[in-house]
Amino acid sequence: MGSKLFTALFVLLVLSPSYGFELSGETGFYNTELKGEYERQVGYDLWNSKKEGFLLKLKVAEEFRLGSDAKFRLSVTTGTTKAPFVTLFSSDDDKLFSGDFRSFNLRELYVEKEHFLLENLFFRAGKQPFNLFPFIDDYLWGGTFTFRFSDTLSFSWHQIAGYEGKYLLFNSEKEDDVDLFGGKFDWRAPLGKFSVGFYRLSDAKGEDVGVNKNTFLFTFKPSLQGTVASFAGALQNGKELLTAELKLKGLEIIGGYAEKGFTSYGFREGIRDLSYIYKPTLSDVTFLKAGTSFSLEGLNLKLHTLYLENVGSELGGELSYPFYRGELFLRGALGTDGSYFTYAGYRWGVDTSPLPNYLGNVEVENYFNLWGEYADFPQKEYSPQIGYEGWERAKHVGYWHSTYKLSLKLEGFSLKVSTGRDSKVDYVVWGNTADNFLYAQTHGKLWHFEEASYSLAPLTFGLQRVEVTGFISENLTGVSFSKGLRTGVFTEEGRKYLLFAFPLKRGELLSFHKVGGERNVHLFGFSENLVPFSFGYLRELFEGGRKAWGAFVRGETEVSGFKGEVFFKVYSKNFTTFGVREFFRDEGFIYRPGEKDVRFLRAKVSKKVHLGFSSIDKFSPEISFLYDRLTRFSGGYVGEEGGVTLSLKPGKRCRLEIVELFGSEDTYYHGLRFSLSW
The DSSP annotation for 603-624 comes to EEEEEE---S-HHHHTT--EEE
Nearest residue to 218 via CA among 204, 237, 191, 236: 236
Q: What pLDDT, on the 0 to 100 scale, is given for residue 344?
A: 98
Q: Which domains does the chain have, with CATH numbers?
A: 2-352 (2.40.160.100)
Alpha-carbon Rg of the chain, whole angstroms?
Answer: 29
For residues 628-658, one letter each, b for 16 or more C-beta atoms within 10 angstroms of the residue's C-beta and e for the rest, the string is: bbbbbbeeeebbbbebebebbebbeebbbbe
What is the predicted pLDDT for the residue at 358? 52
pLDDT single digits (tens) 238-277: 999 999 999 998 899 999 999 999 999 989 999 988 999 9
Neighbours of 90 (CB within 10 A): 16
Q: What is the DSSP string of 562-581?
A: EEEEEEEEEE-TT---TTSP
Q: Are 18 and 362 in contact (CB under 8 A)?
A: no
Convert 325-345 to b/e letters by CB count within 10 Å (16 or more is b). ebeebebbbbbeeebbbbbeb
Question: Within the chain, which residues score under 70 in pLDDT?
Answer: 1-20, 88-104, 206-210, 351-360, 441-444, 543-546
Residue 388 exposure: Cα atoms within 13 Å on the Cβ side: 20
SS3 content of the chain, % helix, strand, coil (to 5): 5, 60, 35
pLDDT of residue 316: 97
Q: C-alpha distances in angstroms, 581 versus 491, 525, 664? A: 14, 18, 28
Question: What secondary structure does DSSP assign to 14-79, as a single string?
Answer: HHS-BSEEEEEEEEEEEEEEE---SPBPTT-TT--EEEEEEEEEEEEEEEEE-SSSEEEEEEEEES
**DSSP letter, residue 7:** H
pLDDT at 1: 43
Looking at the chain, the number of H-run helices and the number of E-run strands are 2, 38
d(C-alpha 203, C-alpha 216), whole Å: 18
Tally Cβ neighbours within 10 Å of residue 370. Answer: 23
- Residue 503: asked if its preceding bond is cis (omega within 30°), the reply is no
The answer to whether 537 and 504 have CB atoms below 8 angstroms apart is: no
Q: Which residues pair with 65 in a beta bridge?
A: 71
Half-sphere exposure of residue 521: CA atoms within 13 angstroms, side-chain side: 23
Give the 3-state secondary structure of residue 469. Answer: coil
DSSP string, 378-394: ------BPTT-TTTTT-
- Give the residue among 156, 158, 29, 46 at the shortest CA–CA distance from 96: 46
- The residue among 14, 3, 4, 2 whose CA lies nearest residue 406 is 14
CA dist list (Å): 398 to 181, 182, 473, 585, 649: 17, 20, 27, 20, 25
Between CA 125 and CA 400 the distance in angstroms is: 11
Instruction: Quickly count: other Cβ atoms within 10 Å of residue 586's Cβ.
Output: 9
Q: Is 270 helix (H, G, I), strand (E, B) or coil?
A: coil
pLDDT at site 402: 96
- Output the pLDDT for position 268: 92
Find, among 413, 496, 416, 503, the residue nearest to 454 by Cα.
Answer: 413
Q: Which pLDDT does position 3 carry in this prediction?
A: 47
| Cβ partners under 8 Å of residue 220, min gap 6 | 192, 193, 194, 195, 230, 231, 232
pTM of the prediction?
Answer: 0.89
Kind and range of the H or E element at 328?
A: strand 326-335
Cα torsion through 458, 462, 463, 464, rounded to 10: 0
> Which of 268, 300, 262 lies closest to 282 in space, CA to CA?
262
Separation between Cα atoms, residue 140 and residue 129, nearest integer Å: 6
State residue 410's pLDDT score: 85
- Cα separation, 596 vs 576, whole angstroms: 5
336: DSSP letter:
G
Cβ proximity of 306 and 294 under 8 Å: no
Amino acid at 249: K
d(CA 368, CA 419): 10
Q: Nearest-CA neighbor of 548 among 519, 528, 577, 568?
A: 577
Task: Please say whether the beta carbons of 420 and 427 come within 8 A.
Answer: yes
The residue length of the chain stands at: 678
Instruction: In whole angstroms, give the CA distance from residue 319 to residue 604.
Output: 68
In contact, 267 and 136? CB cutoff 8 Å: yes
Residues 6+ apart with CB under 8 A from 513: 497, 498, 499, 520, 521, 522, 523
Contact in structure between 59 and 22 (CB atoms under 8 Å): yes
